[in-house]
């Protein structure tokens, strides 16, 4: 397990490594569910745009990994890029000494199928919004994170429900989780036609 920091905060970087007790003599193993975490990413919250550019250039580094992200400023771009590459992803928002889990997902599919299974025809904002809604995040919080109005958030949800021909919100959220968080032995869902193409991270816009 390694710590990958995009932050220039020396005290933060040192503190995280000390807390995690990274040493060859006494390694501390953290997990997503029961899967060992491969990398812990610390984001540079003072310049999130620079962090996005650096992380997008290195997403292949985290291919098939279980990744933990520590951040104060949550970017759907970062979550979207990592979700398409990682086997597992947990994102913690840390602010004013309070920590909240925003995303906690894991795929049990074979390694060679993960990248294909995690590609969606949705933009990163749409992907983040739908996944967050399905995990119980309130629309008003999503508007603060993504910059999209509650009306736009509702429209994104409504459009996806229309594509999947689902009218019940509870069923819709269950289907979204089934699509975005595939299980290893599950029968392929026909509703995965929601995924039309593999978007290039370089073409993704905020």
Residue by residue, DSSP assigns 144-174 as HHH---HHHHHHHHHHHHHHHT---HHHHHH
Would you say 206 and 81 are in contact if contact means Cβ atoms under 8 Å apart? no
Summarize pLDDT for 116-130 with one digit per residue, the tens: 444 456 777 788 888
**What is the CB-side half-sphere exposure of residue 64 using CA atoms within 13 A?**
6
21 phi-psi bin (left φ>0, alpha ψ -120 to 50, beta other): left
pLDDT tens across 148-162, in order? 888 888 888 888 888
Q: How far is CA 100 from CA 3, 84, 96, 154, 185, in A?
A: 20, 22, 11, 24, 31
Residue 2 makes CB contacts below 8 A (sequence gap 6+) with 38, 39, 40
Domain assignment of residue 162, given as a range:
2-203
Q: Alpha helices, DSSP H only, in 22-149?
A: 48-57, 76-83, 111-117, 124-134, 139-146
**What is the pTM for the complete model shown?**
0.54
Domain count of the fold of the chain = 1
Could you report the per-residue pLDDT of 16-47, keeping only the tens digit for each? 777 666 555 555 566 766 778 888 888 866 67
Residue-wise pLDDT for 39-88, tens only, equals 888 886 667 777 778 887 888 888 888 888 887 776 776 777 787 778 88
């Amino acid at each position: 397990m390694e710590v990958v920091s995009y932050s220039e905060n020396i005290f933060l970087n040192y503190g995280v490594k000390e807390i995690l007790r990274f040493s060859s003599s006494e390694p501390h193993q953290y997990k997503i569910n029961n899967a060992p975490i491969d990398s812990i990413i610390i984001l540079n919250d003072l310049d999130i745009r620079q962090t996005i550019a650096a992380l997008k250039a290195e997403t292949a580094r985290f291919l098939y990994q279980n990744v933990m992200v520590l951040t104060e400023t949550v970017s759907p771009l970062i979550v979207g890029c990592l979700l398409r590459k990682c086997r597992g992803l947990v994102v913690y928002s840390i602010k004013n000494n309070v920590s909240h889990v925003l995303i906690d997902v894991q795929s049990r599919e074979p390694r060679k199928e993960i990248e294909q299974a995690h590609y969606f025809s949705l933009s990163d904002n749409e992907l983040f919004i739908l996944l967050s809604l399905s995990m119980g995040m309130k629309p008003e919080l999503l508007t603060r994170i993504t910059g999209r109005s509650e009306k736009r958030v509702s429209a994104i949800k409504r459009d996806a429900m229309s594509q999947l021909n689902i009218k019940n919100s509870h069923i819709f959220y269950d289907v979204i989780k089934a699509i975005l968080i595939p299980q290893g032995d599950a029968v392929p869902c026909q509703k995965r036609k929601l995924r039309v193409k593999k978007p290039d991270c370089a073409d993704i816009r905020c």
